[in-house]
Each structure stands twice: as C-alpha cells, then as structure tokens.
Structure 1
Amino acid sequence: MNRFPPQLTQLHEWILQETRLGRMCGSPERFRDRYEILQVLGRGGFGITFLAKNAVLPGKPLCVIKQLCPKVTSIKSWERACQRFKKEAKALGELGNHPQIPMLLDYFEVKGEFYLVQEYVRGSTLAREIKKTGLKNEATVRKFLQELLPVLKYIHQHGTIHRDIKPHNLLRCEDDGRIVLIDFGAVKQELVNAGQNSIHRHATTNFVGTMGYAPPEQFSLNSVYASDIYALGVTCLYLLTGKSPLEFSYDQNTGEICWQQEVNVSESFALILGKMVKIPVKERFKSAQDVLRALEIESYVPTLTNCLTTQPPRSHTHKKPELAQGYLTPAQKTAIAIREWKAKLNKK
C-alpha cells in the first residue's frame, strides 16, 4: 500500500475500504486478537493513524495505532526497512518514559507493513487551540517555551531529533493541561531511508518535516539539534500571530522570516525569538539548554536595569588598586553578564 487517492474528499472512504484496519472500523473484529479499531484519526505521508482500544486489558484503554507504509521495491530493501524499524521503535520506546511524550506500548510488522501502538492522549492541538481561543501573549509563550524546552533537551540527550515540531504536533492534555509532543519523525526518516537504494535517494523523497517549520539544513537531510530549535521558534510566532510560516513575508537577501512587525513583545524576548529562527545554523541557539539559559537571564533584565552602568567603577586611593578593581558585588556580576548577553544578541 504505497499510494493514496489524490482527492482529499475521497481519502477517508478509500482508507475505510482499501486498508485492513479501515475495514475493521466499527466492527467487532479485532486486530491481532486484541485491538478494536474505532476510527481514522489522520493520514500523513508515511501512513495512517487509527484510534483503537485494547479489548483484552481491564477497562479497555484507548490507544493509537500508527500504520507506517515504507515504499519498498525488493526483498532486500524490505529486510533493511524491517531492521531499521525495530531499531528506531526501540529508541522511541526509551523516549516514551517521559510524561510529555506518548508511551510506546507495542510495535510489530504484519504483511510488509509496520505498526506502532502508543498511548492515547486526550486533548487538543495548539493549532486548534489558537483557532478556538485566540492568540497567545508574550508571558504565555514564554511559559510554553519553559515547558517544552526541557522535553527537547531530553530527546536530544537521547540522540534523537524530532524533525517535525509544529502546532499540529503539540497536544494540550485535557486531563492536566500539560503539553505533549507527538509524531516523531525519526522512525519515518529511518524507514524511508531503508526502503530505498542509496543511489536513488533524493531530498524531495527523503525529507521529513513541514514546509515553513523546517529550516534549510533539514531539506538537505542534514538535520541537527538546532533544527528543532528553529521549528520551535516558528511555532512561537504562530502562537503570537496565528499565521503559519508560509503566510509571512521573507527577506530576499537572508531568507529569514519578516515577523518583527507582526508581534507585540519586549525587546529582550524578541532577541531570543530572533536567534531561534536564524537561518544560518551557526547564528542560531545550538541547544535547548542555551535557550533556557537565555530565558533565565532575560527574566532578570527588568529588575536589574538600574545596575547596567556604563562607567567603570572608580578606584579609591585609600584602597589597594587590586581590591578596588577586582571585587564585584553579585548584582554587578549579574549586570555585566546581562550586558554581555545583550551585546552578543544585538550583533546577530
């Protein structure tokens, strides 16, 4: 199953009629003797997602079954895809021990198609939330960053790049309000790479991500941890403006988003957002921890503005020169760190 009907209006009907899980929707038949398929949740470039319930467990808990469909052309490429799938599914299973990442419950292969079973998170995407409740302000977006950046730090420490951070892949849990990161691109990337011979790999077929949210290096298949930082920065712009990245104008010389006139945020927070969405990787924040540190320093700016003196401390003749010049109070040290940080950001 490698092709979908081109007309979106026919897609849902096609899934129900032409896919095994689609034909099980609403029927008492169980997939692998345990999963009752309830409905189609969505379709992406690599497969279809279904809502199901595990009928053999107490309470019949809900779960999500993702059917991944790599394009294989030979037995060898299928075997390679199968090996990659198992490897990446295990890696995804390790990530699932985080409260803001859906837990991987099972994974298996059936008749050349690969399946992931994950916990179901009841909630709404941030994209839907914006349309329903309106735009976010600076304080809310800063809080959002402080909540999500530790998740990015966690997955990066496990050697994984998400590759598809966007409002549609961020769920606000209905039960406790936490933000949950879904739909990892790592497994999909490995599957598409494994399913094709290296001489036939092209950026147009191997790219995993979303136009506008993915930075240029991702289109060249050179994703780095900073690629997720860029996508997160663009997501912040969406929360502040309600505009998808393709709705903004772009600087013809640099390729960067022209967003500054669209938002109402403080100068210090604008500097952080600007560095998150820099096109050159070397000018962007390198890690989630770097962004968290910048946010922490930025929070001190309003209360320490008066400490930012422009004149060096005067020496006193009755004191030893080395003491007069060498001692700085904690407030002075913090002020100097803020001044240096702002100067570096202004150079970018």
Structure 2
Amino acid sequence: MNSTLLNYRYRIVRSLGRGGFGETFLAQDTHMPSGRYCAIKQLKPAGNDPQILQLVRERFAREAAIVESLGEGSDRIPSLYAYFNEAGQFYLVQEWIEGRTLADRVALEGVLSESRVRTLLVSLLDILEYVHSQGIVHRDIKPENIILRKSDGEPVLIDFGAVRETMATTLSSTGNPTHSIVIGTPGFMSGEQAAGRPVYGSDLYSLGLTAIYALTGLTPQQMASDPQTGALLWRGQVAGLSPQLADILDKAIESHPRDRYLGAEEMRSALKRQSPDRNRPPAGVPPQKQPVYQVPIPPSSSTVAVADPF
C-alpha cells in the first residue's frame, strides 16, 4: 500500500498481518476529527470471473451485515465501521482493539494461571453464547483470534464473518457456486468442522484447545495423543492443575460433538459451579465418561457461519 488514501478516506499506517486471502492494515480515518485508528481487512477473491465476482459481491454484503450486527450486540466483538470494494478487492473497516493476542501474551510472558484461564473461559463463553444465539458459528477460535484488551484485560473475539469462505467462492463443473477451502485452523479445528459440517460444539472444541494452549504454551500439534483413542495427552503438561478444570476441558475437546457440552451456557455453568478441590485425585486420572448430548445444527452454512478472513 502507498500513501494514497484508501476509498478517499483511510490512510494506511502499517500492515498488521497477511494471509492467503488478503492482508490486514492499521489505518487512520481522515474523515473523523480524532483521526481514529481502525483495522482494515483487504480481501482478494479466489477468481476474477465476472460471475464469481458478482456472487462474491452479494455474499460479501450479507456477511458484512452479520459482522455489523454482532459488533452492535457485544462490546467484546469489534464494531464494523464500513465496508466497500475497490479495484477488484473487498474491504472491511473495523474497530481497532488495542491490546495483545492471547498467543502473544503466552509467548512473551509465559502460560496463564488456572484462575486466569477460568476467568478467561467464562468471558469467552459469554461471547459465544451470544454469537450462537444469533445462529452463528465462528469456526476459527484460536489464540491468535483472541485479543486481551489493554484497557481492562477483557478478551475480545476477532475475525468474525464468513468473509474468507466468501472470498474462496468458485464455480463447480455444473456452474453452481461452491467453496474451495474449509474454514478453520489445523490443530484447533474439530473433525466435523474439517469435514465441512461445523456445529456450535465445534467452537467449544476450539475454545477448549485454546484454553489448553493458555495453560501449557503448547499447540495441539506439539503434544502427544493416545494411539488407541486419539485423545490429546495434555494433563501432564500442567503442574497442580485441578481435576475439575481438566475434566471440563477434556469434555470440551471430545472428538464427537454429542460428547461435548450442549452449549456455551452449559460449559460456563460447569466452570462457575466447580472450584478447585485439592483433595480430589490428580488431574492425570482419566475423566469419567460424559453423558451423550445431541448438539443442535445451526442454519445452513454460507450466510450464518463466521470465520477469520485469512
């Protein structure tokens, strides 16, 4: 990007990150008296066929409306200021959240305490309960998509919008619109999500693995799995971990959605109900088999699922 104003309004300050479908910039809004900062996501469609671009344009408008609605409903989701397309590329202008990602926090200062992780989980589950109530599945919860806000330390869940999926729109051999990618991050993505069938419990799975990362400083790929069950062997990485929290996280990351929590509210209630009890067996003891739940499947994917634009 050069010094030219984007959309005759936004002055780019610096790049914040780059991905397969675009780049994110820190910018200043020259139309505001304060020259407020904002985060601008520049997104590139997968193809330049006129029919594809028209489909992308229509879907981008719908997904931008979802991003706007989510930001209006929670102060822990960035607000949408504007959206536009210019020179064949698409842009979202969002509130810039000053702070550090959870990934940066762990990398710079080390792992979080159990009490801090519990507090963080409760706050994030509050956000997810709201998001899921709107029929939305985030599909890319991970340490990089959680910002710990500088002003109060509260987590902010970023990169909403099925924009990346929209940018991946292509045409099948029969001329029907389809998507060329699966949304999500390997390691933090559940099996059903990898198969293209995300449900609300897919977000709980990703959140559980994110909490384990906060406790251990390790990604799922850096830890061993049980060769027979495939269960992640993570408990031994955390000294003094309470069995209660270990059980909650193990349930959240069960391989099948029906074995996880029914929803964000149920997982949050479990966290609030259970407090550390040092008289219980060590966290290395395998948890009891959890009851089977049927996770409700959200409405059809392309207009309700949201994800990181990269």
TM-score category (smaller protein): 0.7 to 0.9
Contact 1:125 1:168 in 2 (8 A): yes
Q: Which has the higher contact order (CA 8 A, sep 6+)?
A: 2
Residue 264 of structure 2 corresponds to which residue in structure 1?
A: 288
Q: Is the 8 A contact 2:66 2:161 kept in 1?
A: no
Q: How does 1:191-206 map to 2 (within 5 A)?
A: 191-192=167-168, 194-197=169-172, 205-206=180-181
Number of equivalences: 280
* CA RMSD in angstroms, aligned pairs only: 2.1
Contact kept, 8 Å, 1:72 with 1:195, in 2: the verdict is yes
Match of 1:237 among 212, 233, 253: 212
Question: What pairs with 1:1-348 in structure 2 (closer than 5 Å)?
Answer: 22=1, 24=2, 27=3, 29-97=4-72, 98-184=74-160, 186-192=162-168, 194-197=169-172, 205-263=180-238, 264-299=240-275, 302=277, 346-348=288-290
Return the alpha-carbon distance in structure 1 between the equivalents of residues 67 and 228 of structure 2: 39
Partner of 1:324: none
- Provide the C-alpha distance between the structure 1 equivalents of 2:250 and 2:47, rounded to a whole number of angstroms: 41
Identical pairs, percent: 38
2:39 aligned counterpart, secondary structure: strand
Q: CA deviation at 1:64?
A: 0.9
Q: 2:192·2:198 contact (CA, 8 Å) conserved in 1? A: yes
> For residues 305-343 of structure 1, what are the alpha-carbon distances to aligned partners after superposition, in whole Å with 9 as ceiling and x for unaligned?
9xxxxxxxxxxxxxxxxxxxxxxxxxxxxxxxxxxxxxx
Q: Closer, same or farther in 2 for the Cα pair 1:171/1:198, shift >3 Å?
A: farther
Which residue of the partner structure matches residue 318 of structure 1? none
Query: For residue 298 of structure 2, what is the aligned residue in structure 1?
Result: none
Bigger radius of gyration: 1
**1:332 alignment counterpart:** none
Partners of 1:297 and 1:152 in 2: CA distance: 19
The 3-state SS of whatever aligns with 1:293 is helix
User: Where in structure 1 do 4 or more consecutive aligned residues deviate above 4 Å?
Assistant: 198-201
Secondary structure at 1:209 match in 2: coil
Mapped to 1, the partners of 2:161 and 2:184 lie a distance apart of 7
Q: Which blocks of at least 5 consecutive residues in structure 1 are unaligned?
A: 1-21, 306-344
3-state SS of 2:271 partner: helix
CA contact (8 A) 1:48 1:66 kept: yes
Q: Which has the higher helix share?
A: 1
Unaligned runs of 5+ in 2: 280-286, 291-310
Structure 1 distance, partners of 2:64, 2:197, is: 21
State the 1:73 CA deviation.
4.7
Residue 135 and residue 87 in structure 1: after superposition, are their counterparts in 2 closer, same or farther (change >3 A)?
A: same
Q: Structure 1 pair 83/176, CA: closer, same or farther in 2 (3 Å)?
A: same
AA in 1 matched with 2:288: N
In 2, the alpha carbon distance for the partners of 1:292 and 1:117 equals 32
